[in-house]
Amino acid sequence: MGQLLGKVALITGASRGIGKAIAQKYALEGAKVAFTYLSSEEKARAFEEELKAAGVEAKGYKSNAGDYAQAEELIANIVKDFGGLDIIVNNAGITRDNLLMRMSEEQFDEVIATNLKSVFNTTKGALRTFLKARKGSIINVGSVVGVNGNAGQANYAASKAGIYGFTKSVAKELGSRNIRSNAIAPGFIATEMTEVLGEDVVADWIKGIPLQRPGQAEEVADLCVFLGSDRSAYITGQVINICGGMSM
Ligand SMILES: NC(=O)c1ccc[n+]([C@@H]2O[C@H](COP(=O)([O-])OP(=O)(O)OC[C@H]3O[C@@H](n4cnc5c(N)ncnc54)[C@H](OP(=O)(O)O)[C@@H]3O)[C@@H](O)[C@H]2O)c1
């Protein structure tokens, strides 16, 4: 407990799934929690109330992760509302799966904007704040398919691979200012995103996982607590798999 005491964290896409679990663990560890959502208005409001009722300084912001101007406004509002910003977890993400033969330009662009451009948007938006404070931790949520590829997910895999190049470049540019940038690569995690997959698809995935089960959002959140905390002060520019051994 208290690993993130007093730190202000932004978690994008935290109305449900992995983002929500991260926000919950961050709150438990003493962080002040700013989070975003896009369409799950009711869930986001209820979550904000739940955190506040537990005595956590928290606020949910409706903000489209893929929109540069909205990200700029978001960061400015967080700094105004919370008095600073220490950690960004770029978690918001979507899938628009289709075989390349059938994939539309819109399906490609939507995934790149939400999953990849979003990471540029918030990082740029927070840069001045991080530089002034001479500290900051950026955690970008990738996926094992960003390294391995996956049939039917050329758009998604490209967006996640792009995150890794961005993460490492930022680590090289900003390491001298004590700003860290890391990515995590979850494997198969049980959330609404994976709920839509058929039983046979899930069984196939599980066969390829040495730990023989899907991961839990809370397990991913634990890694994000570590990367946001000062316990990981000497870790930057890394892509850390959290996948039950699926990818080695
Ligand atoms: N689940 C897995 O197996 C898995 C594996 C590897 C990586 N990941 C990655 O982990 C992250 C979270 O996945 P998840 O499984 O928790 O997904 P999820 O259950 O579908 O939740 C996605 C979250 O992102 C938000 N979001 C979507 N588009 C947004 C946008 N344009 N602006 C702001 N927020 C937006 C959603 O908010 P609204 O509900 O308000 O739209 C929701 O809170 C994603 O980056 C995903 O690619 C997941």
Confidence of residue 123 (pLDDT cuts 50, 70, 90): very high
Instruction: Tell me the best of 37, 75, 95, 110 to mutate to test the pocket of ligand 1, counting ligand atoms within 8 Å of each CB and taking the most.
Output: 37
Residues 169, 68, 218, CA angle at the centre, nearest 5°?
A: 70
CA separation for the pair 142, 34 (Å, rounded): 21
- 219 backbone φψ class: left, alpha, beta (φ>0; ψ -120 to 50): alpha
Atom of ligand 1 nearest to the CA of 62: 33
pLDDT at 196 (0 to 100): 87
Residue 167 C-alpha to ligand 1 middle, in angstroms?
19
* Catalytic residue flag (residue 37): no
CA separation for the pair 245, 215 (Å, rounded): 11
Which residue's C-alpha comes closest to atom 36 of ligand 1? 13
Which helix (DSSP H) or strand (DSSP E) does residue 139 occupy?
A: strand 136-141
Atom of ligand 1 nearest to the CA of 217: 16
Q: Which two tokens stand for residue 166?
A: 């961005």
For the chain, give every domain's residue range: 8-242
User: What's the pLDDT tens digit per position in 169-199?
Assistant: 999 999 999 999 999 999 999 998 888 888 8
Atom of ligand 1 nearest to the CA of 188: 3
Q: Which two tokens stand for residue 127?
A: 């840069």
Instruction: Tell me the best of 12, 36, 38, 121 to mutate to test the pocket of ligand 1, counting ligand atoms within 8 Å of each CB and taking the most.
Output: 38
Rounded average pLDDT over 200-206: 91
Tokens 């700013």 belong to residue: 34
Show the ligand 1 pocket: residues with CB < 6 angstroms. 12-19, 36-40, 64-66, 91-94, 114, 141, 143, 186, 188-189, 191-194
pLDDT at 150 (0 to 100): 96
Asked if the model's pLDDT at residue 102 lies above 90, the reply is: yes
Residue 40 C-alpha to ligand 1 middle, in angstroms?
11
Residue 187 C-alpha to ligand 1 middle, in angstroms?
14
Which has more pLDDT, 197 or 245? 245
**Any idea of the CA torsion for 98, 101, 105, 108, to the nearest 10 degrees?**
40
Of 137-141, 163-167, 200-204, least confident by mean pLDDT is 200-204
Residue 13 C-alpha to ligand 1 middle, in angstroms?
6
Tokens 């500290």 belong to residue: 135
CA separation for the pair 87, 80 (Å, rounded): 15
CA separation for the pair 225, 12 (Å, rounded): 15
Q: Where are the alpha helices (DSSP H) in the chain?
A: 17-28, 41-53, 68-82, 105-111, 118-133, 145-148, 154-174, 192-195, 199-207, 217-228
CATH classification (class only), 8-242? alpha beta
Residue 91 C-alpha to ligand 1 middle, in angstroms?
6
Contact 141, 156 (CB under 8 A): no
Contact 205, 3 (CB under 8 A): no
User: Across the chain, what does the average pLDDT equal?
Assistant: 97
pLDDT at 198 (0 to 100): 87
- The answer to pTM > 0.95 is yes
Length in residues, the chain: 248
- Residue 92 CA, distance from chain mean position: 6
User: What's the pLDDT tens digit per position in 57-77?
Assistant: 999 999 999 999 999 999 999
